[in-house]
Amino acid sequence: MTSLAVVLKNNLSISVLRDRVLLKKVEREKSKGGIILPESAQQESEQAEVLAVGPGKLNEDGSVSPMDVSVGDIVILAKYSGQKVDLEGEEYMIAKSEDIVAKLIKEGV
């Protein structure tokens, strides 16, 4: 399922363009053993949930390359990628699809 826009609080909606995605950071506080890690000890990548997806990258021949992610996916972004945006007190991120380095997949679902 892809989405070109998502409705935020107070009926404000945001639409992402081209090969961009709207993301909400997913907090990763604990290690596999349940130990809380300080921010400095965490990996240099960020996990985020995909909230909205643009139509795709426009190629030179006018065709559009489909996006590799869908709304609801949990993805890993390269460190320092994307643009942080504060909308109505919530922090979101808008990133290019090429800044997404992996998609997390739950086994057995």
Residues of the chain with pLDDT under 70: 1-5, 7-9, 28-45, 109
Match 């909400």 to its residue by tokens. Answer: 24
Please provide residue 10's backbone torsions phi and psi, each rounded to the nearest 5 degrees.
Answer: 55, 35
Q: Domain 5-28+41-104 classified CATH 3.50.50.60?
A: no
Q: What would the pLDDT profile of 16-26 be if each residue is shown by its tens digit?
A: 899 999 999 98
For the chain, the domains span 5-28+41-104
Nearest to 53 by CA among 104, 101, 4, 102: 4
Quick one: pLDDT at residue 1?
A: 43
Quick one: pLDDT at residue 70?
A: 93
